[in-house]
Amino acid sequence: MKPILLVHGYSSEGEDNSVSEIYGTLPDDLRREFGANTIRKLNLSRWLSLNDGVRLDDVSYAMDRALRSPEYNDLLEGGFHVVIHSTGALVVRNWIRMFSPKPSPVENFVHLAGANFGSGLAHVGKAQIIRWARYLGTGSQGGRHILDELEFGSWKTLDLHLHFLEKGNNMREDYQVQEFCIAGSQTTKVLRAAPIRYVKEDSSDNTVRTSAANLNYTRVHIAPTSDARQLSVDELKRLVKERKKDQSVRDSNYAVEVYRSHPEVPFSVAYETAHYGEKIGIVSGSRNRKEVIPKLKRALQTPLDDTGYASTREYFEDQHQRTFDRVGGLKTSPLGWSKQAQYEAHAQIIFRLKDQYGEGVKQFDITFRTSDRSAKKVSLESLIEDDHKNKEDDGTITFYLRTQEFKKSLWLDRMSIIAPTRLEIFATESDGQEIEYLPVNLQLSSDFLRDIVKSFQTTIIDVEMLRLPTGKVFEIHEV
């Protein structure tokens, strides 16, 4: 067994935290599974996660320096495996993007509740009262920059993941890194009474949504057509006027392209597992070791080849189904917490609106208009349970959708009966009357929606909104 590097998440480092407090029983679990003599080296990393001046790039750079030190450069030379928790996913993925050769020395990369597409607690944690509470409790700051990069829709984080969609940067084919995702979908009893939705969301582990932990994602790119770029000012004003009157703009001025992460990353929801907690925490819960450790062991033992990776993917899918078969058989009292609802699949849709110059669109609204209201169909807008506008990056909003329902002892896919809908996006320039944005108006079929919105996954919709000046912005006169 090659060396294993453990990388923790945000807030694990306090003023006096010991290594055992950070990683709990995980090191001993690994030694017990593989044998103390089989694991050549077990490396427990530490990184300062609560200092306001530290950014994600800083942590990844510091990780690179540590790996290149005489004590640990054998990891770079001989290869190693990585097991992360939470924000450690972003640290390591960013290190691969910034510093790793191709192929990478990282071989099997296991995510335990990786916060790949953010955490709702990131923007809650930035509130002043939370920062002071953290400061008084741990002697540490709040880690403002790291929280910014953990907020839903962070451009920094989205661009990090989209890097691996680019030609020549595929994680599996070019870096030759095999990734595996294990997440929980449970919260602790004490948090159910907390007045913060993100510590008790369904399809979440009290910190990270299953759809945010899953590295299987879809990117949709919406951009103006070449004809749209040649629109006259008068034609643009007509379209904007129609939209301001709440009329549906029927012109097809935008084109759509769909990209999907590949190959499929093994993903599994572990039974009765939360982000943290002595009993059901994913790193060191006392009651769920049989749910987490076998999956972790299988991932670390996967050979670096297509057949082995596909076999482990099938194993993860089987374990995932076993979790939901088990949850489906649980009994819930009429006054109790709905155990099945806690596991019902959700999906995230992140809209990121930019103009043609790459600047975020500040003022916008997104509307889904579903005309088919029959009892046999569900509308996309009826699935939305939460939305969050990113506070740092303009033009970004994340929608959280319940895509599954447990009904009559069956897990029902609500996307299977999704109705077609019309997507309308309208933006305005608040600082003057001489700029207009070309409205987006797209008819999305049921098949298209099912293709881009997947249970337990994130969809990134990048929209390039055409920003056009009136004739008054620049004029030429002959004298």
Q: pLDDT at residue 235 above 90?
A: no
Round to whole Å and give the CA distance between 181 and 467.
40
C-alpha 100/C-alpha 44 separation (Å) is 20
- Residue 47: predicted pLDDT: 64
**Encoded amino acid at 152, one letter:** F
DSSP 438: P
Res 249 pLDDT > 80: no
pLDDT above 70: percentage of residues in the chain: 89
Where are the alpha helices (H) located in 126-258, listed in sequence order?
128-138, 144-150, 155-163, 210-213, 233-244
Residues 126 and 142 sit within 8 Å (Cβ to Cβ): yes
* Percent of the chain predicted with pLDDT > 90: 65
pLDDT at 468: 86
The whole-angstrom separation of Cα 470 and Cα 459 is 34
Q: Which amino acid is at 433?
A: Q
Contact 434/473 with Cβ under 8 angstroms? yes
Which two structure tokens, joined as six digits, stand for 158? 């989205």
Q: How many CA atoms lie within 13 A of 87 on its CB side?
A: 28
**316 has a pLDDT exceeding 90:** yes
CATH class of 4-216+263-328: alpha beta
Q: How far apart are CA 72 and CA 405, in angstroms?
A: 49
Range of 57-66, 115-124, 204-213 with top mean pLDDT: 204-213
Let me know: does 267 contact 320? Beta carbons within 8 Å. yes
Q: Which residue has the higher pLDDT, 26 or 125?
A: 26
What is the structure's pLDDT at 135? 47
Where are the domain boundaries for CATH 3.40.50.1820 in the chain? 4-216+263-328
Residue 90 has pLDDT above 50, yes or no: yes
Residue 179 Cα distances to 57, 113, 397, angstroms? 21, 13, 27
**Residue 49, pLDDT score:** 64
Nearest to 282, CA basis, from 92, 31, 84, 44 = 84
Instruction: Provide the token pair at 265.
Output: 């990353």
DSSP string, 252-315: --EEEEEEE-SSPPPEEEETT-BSS-TTTBTTT-SS-HHHHHHHHHHHHT--SSHHHHHHHHHH
Residues making up the chain, counted from first to last = 479
Nearest to 396 by CA among 342, 346, 474, 463: 463
Helix, strand, coil percent values for the chain (each to nearest 5): 35, 25, 40
